[in-house]
Chain A
Amino acid sequence: MNHLNGIVLSLFLCLIPLQHVVAQTRILHISTIHIQQHSKKPLASVRIASGNSGILTDNTGHADFIISISDHIVSFSKPGYIGGSITIPASVNDTSLTFIMQPIAFQGKAVQVTGDRNTVYGIASQDVNIIKSETLDKHRGQTLGETLKRVTGLHTLQTGPSISKPVLRGMHSQRLLIANAGIAQEGQQWGSEHAPEIDAFSIGSVEILKGAAGVEYGPGAMGGMIRIIPPDIPDTAHFYSSVTLQGQTNNWQGAISPSLSWGTRFSNNDAFGLRAQVTGKQAGNAKTADYVLGNTGFTELNGQLQGKYAFSNGENIQFTTSSFNTELGIFKGSHISNASDLLRAIESGHPLQQYDFTYDIGFPKQQIIHHLLSIQGNIPLEGIGLLEATYGWQFNDRSEFDAHNLRVPKDSSILLEQLLVKPAMRLLLETYSGDIKLKAIQINDHISGTIGVSSQLQQNKRLGKVVLIPDYFMTALGAYAIGNVMFDDVIISGGARFDTRSINIDKYSSPTRLINDSVLNFSGFSLSGGFMWQMHEHLRLSMNVGQTWRPPQVNELYSYDIHHGTAQFEIGKRGLSPEQSRTIDLALLYDTHDCTFDLSLFHNQFDGFIILQPDRARPTLTVRGSFPTFRYDQVQAAMYGAEFQGDYTFDDWLTFSLQGSMIRGDNQSTGNPLFMIPADRMSGSLHAHRESFLDAFGDAFIEFRMTHVRRQDRFDPNLDYTSPPPAYSLFDINLGGTILHGPLKGIATNLSFQNIGDIAFRDYLSRYRYFALDTGFNCVVRMTIPIL
Chain B
Amino acid sequence: MKHFISSFFALAIAIGISSCGINDHDHDHDQDHDYPTTVIVTLVNQSNTADTINAVWKDLDGPGGAAPSIIDTISLKSDIIYIGSIKLYNESKSPKTDITQDIKAYDYEHQFFFTPSTGIASLVEWTITDKDRNNLPVGLTFQVKTKTGAGSKGFVNIVLSHYDSMTKNGSSKSLESDIDVDYPVIIGQ
Contact = CB atoms under 8 A, between A and B. Distances in A.
Interface string A328-368: 00001101111011101100000011000000000100000
A409 B59 contact: no
A333 B174 CA distance: 10
A464 B28 contact: yes
Interface stretch (B41-49, B75-83, B159-167): B159-167
A459 interface: yes
A20 B164 CA distance: 71
By DSSP majority rule, is chain A's interface helix, strand, loop, or mixed? mixed
Contacts, number: 173
A622 B101 CA distance: 21
Nearest to A626: B180
Contact of A353 (B24, B167, B181): B167
B61 interface: yes
Interface stretch (A53-61, A64-72, A371-379): A371-379
Contacts of B31: 467, 510-511
Given A373-B15, A408-B34, A410-B102, A403 B9 contact: no
Given A373-B15, A511-B60, A294 B165 contact: yes
A404 interface: yes
Interface string A280-309: 000000000000001100000000000000
Given A337-B180, A352-B172, A623-B37, A512 B65 contact: yes
> Which of A342, A373, A410 lies at the interface centre, i.e. has the most chain B CB atoms within 10 A of its CB?
A410
A313 interface: yes
A389 B8 CA distance: 9
Contact of A337 (B90, B166, B178): B178
A511 B63 contact: no
Nearest to B66: A512
B135 interface: no
By DSSP majority rule, is chain B's interface helix, strand, loop, or mixed? loop
Nearest to A363: B164
Contacts of A344: 173, 175
A620 B59 CA distance: 12
B177 A625 contact: yes
Given A379-B5, A409-B99, A434-B12, A333 B175 contact: yes
A485 B71 CA distance: 72
> Which of A363, A465, A627 lies at the interface centre, i.e. has the most chain B CB atoms within 10 A of its CB?
A465
B177 A341 contact: yes
B1 A623 contact: no
B39 A21 contact: no
A625 B39 CA distance: 13
Contact of A404 (B9, B68, B159, B164): B164
Contacts of B39: 623
> Which of A294, A340, A511 lies at the interface centre, i.e. has the most chain B CB atoms within 10 A of its CB?
A511
B64 interface: yes
Given A352-B175, A623-B35, A377 B180 contact: no
Interface residues of B, number: 62
Interface in A166-203: none
B22 A459 contact: yes
Contact of A406 (B8, B159, B178): B178
B34 to A, nearest CB: 5
B121 interface: no
Interface residues of A, number: 67
B150 interface: no
A562 to B, nearest CB: 6
Interface in A371-420: 373, 375, 377, 379, 387, 389, 391, 393, 403-404, 406-411, 413
A340 B27 contact: no
A530 B16 CA distance: 38
B57 interface: yes
Nearest to B93: A511
B19 interface: yes
Contacts of A620: 63-64
B179 to A, nearest CB: 5
A540 B179 CA distance: 63
A561 interface: yes
Nearest to B60: A511
A544 B28 CA distance: 49
15 contacts: A333-B175, A336-B176, A337-B177, A341-B173, A379-B4, A393-B16, A411-B102, A434-B12, A459-B22, A463-B26, A465-B32, A512-B63, A560-B64, A569-B64, A623-B39
Given A345-B175, A377-B8, A561-B63, 17 more contacts: A332-B164, A341-B176, A379-B5, A393-B15, A393-B16, A406-B162, A407-B35, A434-B12, A465-B30, A512-B61, A569-B63, A623-B36, A623-B37, A623-B68, A624-B177, A624-B180, A625-B181
Closest A-B pairs by Cβ, 6 of them: A625-B180, A332-B165, A410-B102, A512-B65, A353-B166, A391-B12
Interface of A: 20-21, 294-295, 311, 313, 315, 317, 332-333, 335-338, 340-342, 344-345, 352-353, 363, 373, 375, 377, 379, 387, 389, 391, 393, 403-404, 406-411, 413, 428, 430, 432, 434, 459, 461, 463-465, 467, 508, 510-513, 560-562, 569, 571, 620-627
